[in-house]
Amino acid sequence: MAMIQKLPALGLVALLAACGGGDNKSAGTTTDTTTAAAAPAVPPAAPAAAPAAAPAAQGNVVEVHLVTTADMASGHFEPAEVTVKKGDIVRFITDGKTVHNVSFPAAENAGKSGLPPQPGPYLTTPNATYDVPTAGMDAGTYHFQCDPHAMVGTGMKGTLTVQ
């Protein structure tokens, strides 16, 4: 039973050592010092900064907002006509007020190669994004739409011109 009572105290000592608290007067000072010395050697900040550089290498990011109408029955792309250079990324951003997605229907883009995977994911939360890289797309004009709103005939459509 005495061992069970010591476990919470040992846990508290380990917690204080990990948090940098205390003044090394506890019984486990050598273990605490080693733990405290090892903590700065593992900074998580360096890996987090690396992914941010990847989009810049691909080209410019051009934003298109998926905006829901006031009655939430439809929406529109803002802007609905987008012109980019090959290699740019088109970032679709939803307002999150209703379900939107982005697709490039094969029937409306006959003969076009390099279309994004069909359909794009459903975006349901504010500021959710879907990136469409244009590096694999040939120069030309592509038609895109929001599938849920195209199915109900509200015409949420746009065009993408790749130069």
Residue appearing with tokens 């939360």: 125
Residue 11: both structure tokens together: 């846990």
User: What pLDDT sits at residue 58?
Assistant: 64
- DSSP conformational letter for 123: B
- What is the C-alpha separation between 102 and 120, in angstroms, rounded? 5
Chunked in runs of 10, what are the mean pLDDT values of the chain (163 residues)? 43 36 40 39 38 52 93 88 96 93 94 88 94 94 92 84 96
Which among 44, 81, 65, 39 is positioned nearest to 123, based on CA atoms? Answer: 65
For tokens 């504010």, what's the residue?
126
How many whole angstroms separate alpha carbon 140 and alpha carbon 156? 21
What is the CATH T-level fold of the domain 61-162, as seen in this structure? Immunoglobulin-like (2.60.40)
> Per the structure block, which two tokens stand in for 151?
């199915």
- For residues 144 and 81, what is the distance between their CA atoms, to the nearest angstrom? 10
- Sorted by where each begins, the domain ranges of the chain are 2-42, 61-162
* pLDDT value for 134: 94
Q: So what's the pLDDT on residue 74?
A: 82
The pTM for the full model equals 0.62
β-pairing, 157-162 vs 81-84, is parallel
Reading phi first (left if > 0) and then psi (alpha if -120 to 50, else beta), residue 129 is in: beta
pLDDT at 92: 96
